[in-house]
Amino acid sequence: ETGVTQSPTHLIKTRGQQVTLRCSSQSGHNTVSWYQQALGQGPQFIFQYYREEENGRGNFPPRFSGLQFPNYSSELNVNALELDDSALYLCASSQDAGSGNTIYFGEGSWLTVV
């Protein structure tokens, strides 16, 4: 148990729809990162939020957006879903945004786009 919780655990959406994934960070952690992991691949960095501000973004289109709330929980929103968005979405929290902080991952949300 890492103390990072994600919801929902599984969901199925239709191409073109929108989805919101949620993450509660570990207590005391102010930094949340989101990763996309396609089947058989390593996770790929989507973006990071530090104290409610975006703090770095990977190579993902603008239809991937996020939020971090004052309690440091976070949401990942994906608009205009495409079939290739089918993946495991992982949330990770850390105590700070600096280098070398241990990162704790949640169990992920499995998204299937049909």
Partner 1 sequence: SQQGEEDPQALSIQEGENATMNCSYKTSINNLQWYRQNSGRGLVHLILIRSNEREKHSGRLRVTLDTSKKSSSLLITASRAADTASYFCATEGIGNEKLTFGTGTRLTIIP
Give contact residues for partner 1 (rule: CB under 8 A).
2, 4, 33, 35, 41-45, 48, 56, 58-59, 88, 90, 92, 97-100, 102-108, 110
From its phi and psi, is residue 67 left (phi > 0), alpha (psi between -120 and 50) or beta?
Answer: beta
Could you give the angle at the alpha carbon of 36 between the alpha carbons of 80 and 5, nearest 5°? 105
Q: In the complex with partner 1, which residue's Cβ is closer, 67 or 88?
A: 88
Tokens of 48: 């990071």
Please, what is the minimum distance in Å from the beta carbon of residue 16 to partner 1?
A: 26
Please, what is the minimum distance in Å from the beta carbon of residue 62 to partner 1?
A: 18
* Rg (the chain; Cα; Å): 13
Q: In the complex with partner 1, which residue's Cβ is closer, 18 or 106?
A: 106
